[in-house]
Amino acid sequence: MKKPSEKQRRYQCWKSSYVMRMRRKDSPRRFKYAKRRTTKTQIGQSLEAPSHFILISAKGGQHGSDVNNFFEFLSKLRMAEPPELTIDMSRVRRMVVDAALLFKAELSRLVQVKGLRIKAIPPTSERTQQVLKQTGIDRLLNLSIELELNREDVVHWRIAEGPRTDVESTALEPIMADIEAVTGLPTHPVYQGIIESMGNCVEHAYKDHPDVKRKMPTDPGWWVFQQVKDETLFVVVCDLGIGVNRALPLTLANEQGLMRKLMHMFRRAKGEDNRALLAAMEYGRSSTGAHERGRGMRNAHAVVNDHGEGDFYAISNKGCYVYRKAKEETVGRHKTLKLRHSINGTILGWSLPLKRIPIEG
């Protein structure tokens, strides 16, 4: 008998293993496998936080292990049940502002809606400790951080929060002093536009929707981080509502023709959340049909146009809208990103250069 070649032997080996795999696939399972461990946090279990808190990677989108790890952590955090949860923060060394704000909102929801008692193992990074203390997250984690706040990238952040029913300027007065110090104005026109945009979003964020089963926060229902640094205003607003994609049809319930027209205009955009964001930007009226400034998501980036330059972005569930206008441009440029992970809410952000306005007379 002729000796098989090396190639024939490899083929026979592959064929044998292939046949065995097919037999195992077709035959009934003989063994009982252990029940899969769920991601639901059990009593006394410690949930380990990732090293980076980040929503979108530097290259845009939600690719990379840091982003995936953060959203996996958020998913487990949202499923936590009473009475107690311990979060190990020891590895955390970077917290991007919008991700930190979303983390604070989710912690507030767990404490308020579920009555969860939260403890934490403190971070080893001094920078992270300062971020937690400056933003008030340390209190939600029941951490005692005694170190002095002295980092230039931390000390300028201010915080505010309020009920989901309304956004009143009085709730934001404590964080407006920094704007007055730069511009000389106690109430800057730019901030008035931001307050109106915030109010509109919060007004529609917490409407009842059959597809949303999770419990909604009541008081507070919106969270703000603000910073004035190097004569630039940064504002980031977060709510944990139903998102623009679900809120817009409810807002336009009596104007179905307009709703279909808006969605048809942006049918080529990727993802339902992005189509809804673009439609909301186009729709500049209140739910009562009255034309008013500051009503509708459209006026959120009108703040940038009125100011003359700056950046605005909106993240709603899996949609992301970015708008940028340079000083020399008549009209700004925008783009959308379809995200892999949902933030389960809406985040609005502005970056606007400020300058001192001369007082007439």
Average pLDDT, the chain: 85
| pLDDT bucket at 296, cuts 50 / 70 / 90 | low
Residues 16, 19, 20: CA angle, nearest 5 degrees:
85
**Cα 73 to Cα 183: distance, rounded to the nearest angstrom:** 40
Are 77 and 104 contacting, i.e. CB atoms less than 8 angstroms apart? no
Q: Note the CATH number of domain 156-361.
A: 3.30.565
Enter the DSSP assignment of 92: -
336 DSSP β-pair partners = 321
Does residue 261 register a pLDDT over 60? yes
Does residue 87 register a pLDDT over 90? yes
Which residue ranges does the chain devote to CATH 3.30.750? 42-153
Strand (E) positions, 265-318?
Answer: 310-316
Question: Per-residue pLDDT tens for 110-168?
Answer: 999 999 999 999 999 999 999 999 999 999 999 999 999 999 999 999 998 888 877 77
- pLDDT at position 63: 82
**Cα 47 to Cα 40: distance, rounded to the nearest angstrom:** 10
Nearest to 92 by CA among 128, 126, 57: 128
Enter the DSSP assignment of 116: -
Question: Going by C-beta distance under 8 Å and a sequence separation of 6 or more, which residues neighbour residue 140?
Answer: 104, 107, 108, 111, 118
**Cα 123 to Cα 2: distance, rounded to the nearest angstrom:** 69
Question: Per-residue pLDDT tens for 310-341?
Answer: 999 999 999 999 999 999 998 899 999 999 99
Which residue ranges does the chain devote to CATH 3.30.565? 156-361
Q: Note the CATH number of domain 42-153.
A: 3.30.750
